Amino acid sequence: MAESNFVDYVKICCRTGKGGAGSMHFYRDKKVAKGGPDGGDGGRGGDIILRGNKQLWTLIHLKYRKHIMATDGENGSYQLMKGADGKDEILEVPIGTIIRDAETEEIEHEITTDGEEYIAVKGGRGGLGNDHFKSPTNQSPHHAQPGEPGKEQWKILELKILADVGLVGFPNAGKSTLLSVISAAKPEIADYPFTTLVPNLGIVKYRGHQSFIMADIPGIIEGAAEGKGLGLRFLRHIERNSVLLFLVPADANDITQEYLTLLSELEKYNPTLLEKSRILGISKCDLADEELITEMKKELKANSRKLKKVPVVFFSSATNKGISELLDALWKEINND
């Protein structure tokens, strides 16, 4: 299988610059043989900084860049001249990137806006020159501070996809097919589980030259919240979607139970996901005749309490039947205040 250009996880070693040493110097010129201290401060070491960039959708540019190094600060000099600061190393990352400590796996920050900057690892401070240590009792201090050493830390960068609509469903529920029909995205489609191994994004055109972004999240299986199947690797992408479209195929054994199982996996992973707007889409309706669809609608209506009155739309990506109704329902939820 060809390697995907979508990368949502990288582990990098961040090495910041060390601070420059403060200068121990005394003022001298042709008229002053023994002047006071005039040693300048050392420059700070360069930081490792993350910056949000709305033009990026993946972390692929960091995949083969394992070691990120900022430069050292320069030493201070005479006449109170401060050493130059080390050059910061700025990493452009997509909106929705989170940074974790690689050892503790604790989330340190999340980039949520374009241009937002976060210092992932701070460089060493520059040392103070001997001018800082003069006093009435010590007017000629023969002491200056060395610069602080730089730091080396491993960080994990993870991307949570930012989209208006996230497709949620078991493998082979028809998510990739739907995305290929209503957008220009061309995800891999085949009749076996886990065809989609990476999230796919598509721009869906709506009435009046309007549009919204839909994300095809790889299929969930029961136990995904405990790491089974593709597990936690892709559940995090659902957190960044405004509306969740649950897909259950018309040939499922029990539509209500399949929907509730999907909902249960999301709740185990992050209970706040249940606060998002939801729509239940019954896909592959070309496999059922009108009589069977009528029966399914009656059954879902009878289970409305279990479903908590979630909007239900029947559609077929193969025949385009019900696609307009589905897009209308999605647009309404996206713009629902």
DSSP state letters, 253-296: S-HHHHHHHHHHHHHHH-GGGGGSEEEEEEE-GGGS-HHHHHHH
More confident position, 283 or 7: 283
- pLDDT of the residue at 185: 59
Six-digit token string for 314: 């029947």
pLDDT digits (tens, 9 = 90+) for 37-87: 999 999 999 999 999 998 888 898 998 898 999 999 999 999 999 999 999
Is residue 172 domain-shared with residue 121, that is, in the same domain?
no
Is residue 150 domain-shared with residue 170, that is, in the same domain?
no
- pLDDT of the residue at 176: 82
pLDDT band at 6 (very low <50, low <70, confident <90, very high): low
More confident position, 212 or 120: 120
Six-digit token string for 239: 């957190």
Instruction: Compute the distance between CA of residue 48 and CA of residue 291 in angstroms, rounded to an integer.
Output: 63
Q: List the CATH number of the domain containing 151.
A: 2.70.210.12
| Range in 3-12, 20-29, 89-98 the model is least confident about | 3-12
The pLDDT of residue 134 is above 60: yes
More confident position, 128 or 236: 128
The pLDDT of residue 335 is above 90: no
Is residue 155 domain-shared with residue 187, that is, in the same domain?
no
pLDDT band at 90 (very low <50, low <70, confident <90, very high): very high
Is residue 152 domain-shared with residue 167, that is, in the same domain?
no
- pLDDT of the residue at 15: 97
The pLDDT of residue 3 is above 50: no
* DSSP character at residue 166: E
Rg (CA), the chain: 29
Is residue 143 domain-shared with residue 187, that is, in the same domain?
no
Is residue 11 domain-shared with residue 133, that is, in the same domain?
yes
Is residue 77 domain-shared with residue 21, that is, in the same domain?
yes
CA 3 to chain centre: 21
Is residue 167 domain-shared with residue 182, that is, in the same domain?
yes
pLDDT digits (tens, 9 = 90+) for 179-208: 888 886 564 444 444 444 566 778 888 987
pTM: 0.69
Among candidate residues 133, 144, 137, 197, the one with its CA nearest the CA of residue 171:
197
- 5-9, 46-50, 134-138 — which one is most confidently predicted on average? 46-50
Query: Phi/psi at 48 (nearest 5 deg)?
Result: -100, 115
| Range in 129-143, 231-245, 323-337 the model is least confident about | 231-245
Is residue 40 domain-shared with residue 185, that is, in the same domain?
no
- pLDDT of the residue at 8: 80
Domain boundary among 159, 179, 207: 159
More confident position, 273 or 12: 12
The pLDDT of residue 337 is above 60: no
pLDDT digits (tens, 9 = 90+) for 238-287: 777 889 999 999 988 899 999 998 888 888 878 888 888 999 999 999 98
- pLDDT of the residue at 38: 93
- pLDDT of the residue at 194: 43
More confident position, 332 or 235: 332
Domain boundary among 133, 159, 185: 159
Structural domain range at position 109: 1-159
* Sign of the CA dihedral with 182 first, then 186, 188, and 190 last: positive
Is residue 155 domain-shared with residue 176, that is, in the same domain?
no
pLDDT digits (tens, 9 = 90+) for 200-239: 778 888 987 888 888 887 756 554 344 444 444 566 677 7
- pLDDT of the residue at 73: 97
Specify the 3-state DSSP secondary structure of 51. strand
Is residue 146 domain-shared with residue 48, that is, in the same domain?
yes
Helices and strands (H and E) in the chain: how many = 6, 14
pLDDT digits (tens, 9 = 90+) for 148-157: 999 999 999 9
Number of domain units in the chain? 2
Specify the 3-state DSSP secondary structure of 297. helix
The pLDDT of residue 7 is above 90: no
Q: List the CATH number of the domain containing 184.
A: 3.40.50.300
Is residue 110 domain-shared with residue 198, that is, in the same domain?
no
Residue 158 pairs with which residues in a beta bridge?
Answer: 9, 98
Domain boundary among 138, 159, 180: 159
